[in-house]
């Protein structure tokens, strides 16, 4: 590709072919980039191979019954992860609903001229600092602050709306609701930060064109800015959902670690990541194989979520952005 140079004090341009040094630098950069990409692929393949090798005996013995079983009993040699799959998806979806709503709302608040830019930078930094708090600290905060705080509300909801499945039990301690609330706070920085970047990438002339057509501020936000930033917002939601699926320590401390399938927000449950964290330290050879099988299940769920999210993002980009 010809290179264009501008001479100082002159409006004329000089074109020339890239030098050998520039060709060499470009070749080295490409080689390093391709090597890094290949290393990532090889690393993922190596991890899958190691986990799959350890899980193969359990895969052969339990088969698809491992996915549909509801009992995890080492003494009887019975292993099933359906309650853990349910708990993983249920808690993650609840967290995504809460974290997604608040994350996108924060992004709108920080980018659509509701406050001064300097103050918006301060708020954005505070939100992003939530990602620096260790998971175990969130767990302790949930146990000693959040559960006592929401227990009276949970009790009132159970007393007056016990006919409604999500309020069918009371909150005696750790359960789905405190776990989902803490998980929503943990994914909030991811959703908010990426959504802010998605809004900031929109050219200012798009907003000016919306106002020029007579829209109000909220009409411009809801009918122009949100659709235009939809691909970036979807990417934020997918990454937040992926973070929620793999979260371990806070969930292990707050969800109750109970093998049951329930729609109730106040009953204890379990997740695949919590099962792995709580069972591995004392697991024998047979249980380790089953836990590796559970790890494969979690990896597959995460992979499917990311593929579906990427497909939805591409569809949105074609529909709203013409890409």
Cα 58 vs. chain centroid, distance in angstroms?
29
Residue 114 lies in a domain: yes
- Is residue 239, in this structure, part of any structural domain at all? yes
Contact of 238 with 313, CB cutoff 8 Å? yes
What global pTM score does this model have?
A: 0.84
Q: Is residue 108 part of a domain?
A: yes
* pLDDT tens digits along 46-95: 988 988 888 888 888 888 888 888 888 888 878 888 999 999 999 999 99
| Chain position carrying tokens 């069972």 | 279
The Cα angle at residue 254 between residues 285 and 79, in degrees rounded to 5: 30
Q: What is the pLDDT of residue 92?
A: 92
Whole domain around residue 174: which residue ranges? 75-321
Q: Domain count for the chain, please give it.
A: 1
At residue 140 the predicted structure's pLDDT band, cuts being 50, 70 and 90, is very high
Distances (CA, A) of 237 to 138, 146, 240, 242: 21, 24, 5, 9
Mean of all residue pLDDT scores within the chain: 84
Over residues 180-200, mean pLDDT: 90
- The first and second tokens of residue 270, run together, are 């379990």
Do residues 223 and 230 lie in contact, with contact meaning Cβ atoms separated by under 8 Å? no
Q: Is residue 106 included in any domain, yes or no?
A: yes
Q: Establish if 33 belongs to a structural domain.
A: no
pLDDT mean over 132-161: 90
Q: In this predicted model, what pLDDT tens digit does every residue of 95-110 receive, in sequence order?
A: 999 999 999 999 888 8
For residues 193-206, give the mean pLDDT: 86
Distance CA 91, CA 177 (A): 8
| DSSP annotation string for 43-88 | HHHHHHHHHHHHHHHHHHHHTTHHHH---EETTTTEE--HHHHHHH
Label residue 258 exposed, middle or buried (CB < 10 Å: 0-12, 13-18, 19+).
Answer: middle
The pLDDT score that the predictor gives to residue 89 is: 92
Q: What are the phi and psi torsion angles at 124 (to 5°)?
A: -65, -40
C-alpha distances (whole Å) from 101 to each of 22, 94, 240 are 48, 11, 12
Angle (deg, nearest 10), helices 272-279 and 82-111: 120
pLDDT classification of 184: cutoffs 50, 70, 90 = very high
pLDDT in the model for residue 90: 92
Pairing assessment for the beta strands 13-16 and 3-6 based on DSSP bridges:
antiparallel
Is the pLDDT assigned to residue 181 strictly greater than 90? yes
Alpha-carbon distances of 204 from 84, 201, 212, 281, rounded to whole Å: 46, 9, 12, 54
9 pLDDT higher than 80: no
Q: Please give the pLDDT value at position 323.
A: 58
* Phi, psi (deg, nearest 5) at residue 227: -60, -35
Domain for residue 25, yes or no? no
Domain CATH number, residue 108: 1.10.3720.10
CB crowding 80-100: b at 16 or more within 10 Å, else e? bbbbbbbbbbbbbebbbebbb
Give the mean model confidence (pLDDT) for residues 127-132: 83
Q: Is residue 241 part of a domain?
A: yes
The reply to whether 59 falls in a domain is: no
Residue 250 has pLDDT above 60, yes or no: yes
CA torsion, ordered 139, 143, 149, 150, to nearest 10 deg:
80
Q: What percent of the chain has pLDDT over 70?
A: 94
């Amino acid at each position: 590709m010809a290179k264009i140079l501008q001479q100082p004090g002159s409006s004329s341009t000089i074109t020339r072919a890239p030098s050998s040094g520039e060709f060499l630098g470009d070749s080295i950069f490409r080689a390093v980039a391709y090597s890094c990409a290949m290393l990532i692929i090889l690393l993922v393949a190596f991890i899958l191979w190691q986990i799959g090798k350890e899980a193969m005996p359990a895969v052969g013995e339990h088969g698809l019954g491992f996915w549909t079983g509801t009992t995890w009993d080492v003494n009887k040699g019975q292993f099933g992860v359906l309650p853990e799959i349910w708990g993983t998806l249920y808690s993650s979806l609840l967290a995504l609903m809460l974290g997604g709503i608040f994350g996108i709302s924060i992004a709108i608040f920080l980018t659509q001229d509701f406050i001064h830019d300097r103050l918006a930078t301060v708020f954005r930094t505070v939100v992003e600092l939530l990602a620096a708090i260790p998971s175990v600290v969130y767990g302790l905060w949930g146990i000693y602050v959040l559960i006592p705080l929401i227990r009276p509300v949970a009790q009132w909801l159970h007393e007056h709306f016990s006919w409604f499945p999500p309020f069918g039990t009371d909150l005696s301690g750790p359960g789905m609701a405190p776990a989902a609330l803490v998980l929503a706070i943990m994914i909030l920085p991811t959703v908010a930060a990426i959504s802010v970047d998605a809004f900031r990438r929109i050219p200012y002339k798009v907003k000016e064109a919306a106002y020029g057509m007579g829209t109000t501020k909220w009409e411009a936000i809801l009918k122009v800015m949100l659709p235009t930033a939809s691909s970036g917002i979807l990417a934020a939601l997918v990454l937040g959902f992926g973070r929620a699926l793999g979260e371990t320590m806070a969930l292990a401390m707050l969800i109750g670690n109970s093998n049951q399938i329930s729609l109730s927000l106040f009953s204890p449950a379990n997740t695949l990541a919590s099962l792995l964290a709580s069972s591995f330290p004392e697991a024998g050879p047979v249980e380790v194989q089953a836990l590796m099988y559970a790890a494969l299940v979690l990896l597959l769920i995460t992979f499917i979520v990311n593929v579906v999210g990427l497909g939805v993002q591409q569809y949105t980009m074609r529909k709203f952005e013409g890409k």
